[in-house]
A and B are shown apart, each in its own frame.
Chain A
Amino acid sequence: MNARILLCAATLAAAVPAGGVWSGEQSIGGEPRAYRAPRASDGKPNLNGIWQAVNSANWDLLDHSARPGPVIALGAVGAIPGGLGVVEGNEIPYKPEAAAKKKENGADWLSRDPLVKCYLPGVPRATYLPFPFQIVQSAENILISYEFANASRTVDMKSRQQSPLDTWMGWSRGHWEGETLVVDVTSFNDRTWFDSAGDFHSDALHVVERYTPTSPDHLLYEATIEDPNVFTRPWKIRMPLYRRIEPRAELVEFKCVEFVEELMYGHLRKRTGN
C-alpha cells in the first residue's frame, strides 16, 4: 500500500465517522462536496448572519433518552428531550477518575451546572445552546455575539498575542483554511461545562473550532477538544448550524442575571411579617 492510498483511506475514515454523526458534506467516494460561499468584502467566505444549532447537545453531547425534568411544576415543558449525540464515535474518552467526576456532576447537575446560574457558557457550549448567535465579520476581527447572557468573543485574525489570564469564553485566534474559518481557543478557566450531563474540563482545555459553509444557509461546525488532565485523547464534535432566515431575525436581549437573583440570593432577602 503506497502513501497515496493510505491518505485516501484516512480521508474516508474521517468522512464517515463510526458513530454516524452528520458530516455536513455529501460525500461521493469520500470526496467532500465543494461549496463555495459568497464572499465578504475582503474576499474571504462570508459568515455574517444569525446562526443556531437545532439539536439536544446542550442537554447531553452523547446519545440519550428523554427524561423528566427536575421541576415538577413545569411538567412536560420542563422535561428533557432525548437526542442523538454529536460526538464522533459517541464516546468521550475520560480518564477513569474524571469519568467518576462526570457521573457525579450529572447526578447533581441542577446545583452544579454553571449555566443554571447564568454564568458565561464557555466554548464550544455557547455554540449549541438553544439560543441564536450572530457573526459580525471584518478582515481583522470576527465578533461572535451570543444571545445567552450577552456572552461574546472576538476572534482576532491578525494578532498572535497570548492571553494574560484565564477566561470563561477563552481566547480566540483565527485563520482561514480555504472555505473554513479555523479558531484556536485557549486560556480557559476550569469552571464551564460542555452540557447539562456533567461533561467537564480543566483549565488545560484547548479547543480548535472549524466553521465551514456547506450551503447559503448552513455551516458545518466542528470542534476538536483536547485536555490531557481529563481526557485520554483529543475528541471531536460536529453538527450543522442553521441560518435564522426570518426577515426580522435578530438577537433579542437575554440578560439572565436578574432571572437567577432569587435562586442565588433569595435566602438573604429581608423577611417581613414575622
Chain B
Amino acid sequence: MRHVSTAAIVLILVAQSLSAQAPSGTAGRQGWTAPRAADGHADLSGVWANNSVTPLERPQQWAGKDRLTDAELEQLKRDISQVYDEGGDAIFQNVVQAALEKRKLASYDPTTGNYNQFWMVDRDIDHRTALITDPPDGHIPPLTEEAQKRRGGRAFQAVTEGGPAGRADGPEDRPLGERCITFGAPRTGAGYNSYFQIVQSPTTVGILQETIHDVRIVPIDGKAHLTPNVRQWLGDSRGHWEGDTLVVESTNYASRSIPFRATEQLKTIERFTRVSPDYINWEITFDDPATWTRPWTMMIRLKKEPKELYEYACHESNYSMPGILAGARVKEKAAAQKSNQSAK
C-alpha cells in the first residue's frame, strides 16, 4: 500500500485496540492482526481462490489422523502427480483418494472424451486430512431416518448429478450447473473456477462467485431474514461481525438448490476469518435436523488470488443443453424404430 494517511494510521491503531478485546480465537494466529477496511473492520476484500485438493471427508486410510507429517505429505504429492500424469480427463474426482489407492481414474465420458486437465488449475495441498473439522472423525454425520427414506426416492436435484447417462426428458432433469442456473451457495467445490471476490461496505458485504456470476449480498445491518414465503437458489444471508470474524447465516434455500442434498430447513453458518495476508479460513456449518443427526462443519482455506474475476456467461452460450436434449430424442427414436422392426 503506497498511500498511508495519518487518518488511516489512527484507524489502524483504534482497530488494533478493538481487536485486542475481541473474544479469543477470533483474532489472527500468532498475534497477527488483519488489515483494516476504511470503516475499521477486518479487511476481507479481494479475490480469493479455493483450489485445495484436501478431500471433504477423511479417507479410511487416514482414520484417526487429522494431520499428515511432512514426509507423508511429500509422498502424497508424488502419488498425486502420478495420478495426474496417467489421466487424460480433467480430474474433478477425489484425486487424493485415487492416489491413496494407487488407482487410475476412469474417464467421465469414455465415448467422446471430456474436458482435459488443461481446464483445471494447479491444486493447493496442506497437512490436513479432511475439510470436515466437526465431527472430529472427519465424516458427514449419519442421516436421519427421514432423510434415508427421502433419498431412497428421486426427490432432489443436485449440481453434481446427471452425467452423460442421466435422464434428459426436459431441461429440468439436468444438473443445475448444466442448466446454467447456479453451482450453489456456499460453493464448496474446488479447482474449477472456484474464485470469489469479496467487496465490503460498513453495512453490506458482497460475495461474488465466479461460476455463473452468482452474487450473494449479505446485509450486516441487523435486518431480519426474509419470511419463509421467499425461497432462493442462493438462500438468504445475514451477517454480523464477531471480533475480526464475519459471520454469515443463511436460510430460505430453494428446495432444489440446497447444498449436500439438505431440505428447506437448512441453515448454514459461515465464518470468514483472515488469518494471514494470504489466507482466509472459511468455516461452514451445515445444520438441518431433517437431514443429519447433528450439525457438521467444514473449513476451506481461501487463498489470496492476484488475478481478477472474469465474466462467466454460461446460459448465453449453453450449446450443450440443446445438444443433450436432441441427443436423447435421437436415441429414443432409434430405440422406437428398433422395437417397431422387431415387432413386425
Residues of chain A at the chain B interface (Cβ within 8 Å): 40-42, 48, 118-120, 134, 136-143, 145, 150-152, 154, 156, 159, 161, 164-165, 167-169, 191, 248, 250-253, 255, 257-258, 261, 264-265, 268-270
Contacts and interface: CB of A to CB of B under 8 A. Distances in A.
Given A264-B322, A265-B171, 6 more contacts: A138-B201, A150-B212, A159-B308, A250-B223, A269-B325, A270-B169
Given A143-B208, A265-B171, A270-B169, A136 B308 contact: no
Given A154-B309, A248-B223, A257 B170 contact: no
A167 B309 CA distance: 12
22 contacts: A40-B38, A41-B202, A42-B38, A48-B203, A143-B199, A150-B212, A152-B215, A154-B308, A156-B308, A167-B311, A169-B311, A250-B226, A251-B217, A252-B226, A252-B230, A257-B315, A258-B172, A264-B321, A265-B170, A265-B171, A265-B322, A269-B325
- Per CB-CB distance, the 5 closest pairs between chain A and chain B, nearest first, are A41-B38, A268-B325, A270-B169, A143-B199, A253-B232
Give the interface size class of chain B: 35 or more
Contacts of A152: 208, 213, 215
Nearest to A268: B325
Interface string B310-331: 1101011000011001101100
A257 B181 contact: yes
A45 B234 CA distance: 31
Contacts, number: 123
A164 B307 CA distance: 12
Q: Which of B171, B200, B310 has the most CB of A within 10 A?
A: B171
A46 B202 CA distance: 11
B109 interface: no
B329 A136 contact: no
A270 B316 contact: no
Nearest to B173: A270
Nearest to B199: A143
B263 to A, nearest CB: 19
Contacts of A161: 308
Nearest to B39: A41
Given A136-B201, A136-B205, A159-B308, A270 B315 contact: no
B330 to A, nearest CB: 10
Contacts of B311: 120, 165, 167-169
